[in-house]
Amino acid sequence: MLSKIYTRLKSSPVVSVIGAGGFGKTETAIEYAYLHMSEYNLIWRFNAESENQLQNDYREFAIRNLSINNATELNFPSIKRMFDNWCANHSAYLLIYDNAENCPDLKSYLPTGQWQGHILINSREKLSGIVSERLTAELFSPEDAVEFIQRRIPDADADSAKNLADTLGYLPLALECAVAYTNESQYTIKEYLDLYKKHSIRVLDSKSELTDYQYTVLTVWSATFDKISKEAESDETTKAALQLFKLCTYCAADNIPLPFFIDGRAETPQPLSNSLAPDNEPLHNDIIEKLKRYSLVSMHRVEGKALLSVHKLIQEVANFGFEHTEWVNCCLEIAVAVFNYQYGTREEFDKFAANLPHIIKIAQHTEVFLTDDDSKTSVARLYNEIGTGLRYQGDYTKSLTWYYKALAIYEKVFGTEHPLTATTYNNIATDYQYQGAYVKALEWYYTVLAIREKWLGKEHPDTATTYNNIALVYHNQGDYAKALEWNYKA
């Protein structure tokens, strides 16, 4: 990033670095200033976290650099004219505007007229009206994260450091908080991770005396959530964007397909439901751009379809302040409505694969936050569908795992002799049959048969299907006499 800033400032006087809180934008700007100190006659950092703070910093600039001792008494337009005059008559200076997302009219504060210097702007949001070279703040690479941790915790081995970095999603601020907390509390990395697993984001909200950074992961992003929530009160597009973001926080972090929500839009709240109309792609883009402006999501397209990603710690912080029941239930209803395929086309297999990690995550959240039997049954239905999709892919071991998960729920909710339980028994039997484990397959088919004969009778089509399934197993075993016997029953 330091190299990119240097290169861009060679060709453009203004460079903006955009990214979510905790990505290290401020630290990068400070480091850039130190590295290039000899190239500038003056370097000045303005805190743009509010217009009032920014104006106070301009007055401090006037006192320190323009010898205007009564700057605190002058009106701001006078201070700004003096500042512009100074910029026009000096060269080789670097002005850093930090936290610029909180100053919506930043353009009016930048130098006007002819000026000769460099400007570096840090913001969590895309800034309108400012012409600049734009860079995106990035996470640590795995290698940089391990090096960072081992510098701060000298006895940390590479595997432990990698595990810590991966758990915290390579976010610089999260790693800074973690190593400071670990050192201060004299924990090993394993002990810290055990604590994090138990208490999650609360651990990252602990302020350590061993770091000079004043914010924690929770405070950095809570401010962003508060801001977009306030805007959503008066703007329908922002409200729809916020609703979409809340749903995304209960999905897997990466590659969330927008078509997942479009296909399930009937289960989403208004105004998001109307905003996701399939033929309104410009509005889809408006919603995504709103979230990108706040650096809450990133987006890329594959074959024209939008895939959204949300950093997993942003998900955790967001969920820390949400009322889970409403949004988890909404995600569950979308999942049940959408995740149902015939596996007759390549497109359906692709949809299954794209939606699978998000279905798993939604189901996991449901098991934590929703305890009613209807929700449990919906989760079991999703687990059955996961098993079926994996079976069609030929991954029988994994499919069995999900069928058994579904079975555990059905047996708990309905007992061992209910038709829904029998459906899962049947899925397990079919899986064993596909694997060639015919003895186990027969065992499960006979269990299904006992339930269906009891509930449906011996002449019901579902019972007949079970007769036929048993016949197929005997046929595969080469026992044609028994196969015929069961075929005649069917």
Predicted TM-score of the model (pTM): 0.78
Distance CA(18)–CA(125), nearest Å, equals 6
Distance CA(404)–CA(277), nearest Å, equals 37
What does the pLDDT read at residue 124? Answer: 87
Residues 6+ away with beta carbon under 8 Å from 433 = 441, 469, 472, 473, 476
What does the pLDDT read at residue 214? Answer: 54
Question: What are the 10-residue block averages of pLDDT along the chain, 490 residues in total?
Answer: 95 93 90 96 93 93 94 93 96 95 87 93 86 91 95 92 93 88 88 86 64 64 84 95 96 96 97 95 93 88 93 84 84 97 93 96 94 96 97 94 97 94 96 96 97 94 96 97 97
What does the pLDDT read at residue 377? Answer: 96
Peptide bond into 271 cis (omega under 30): yes
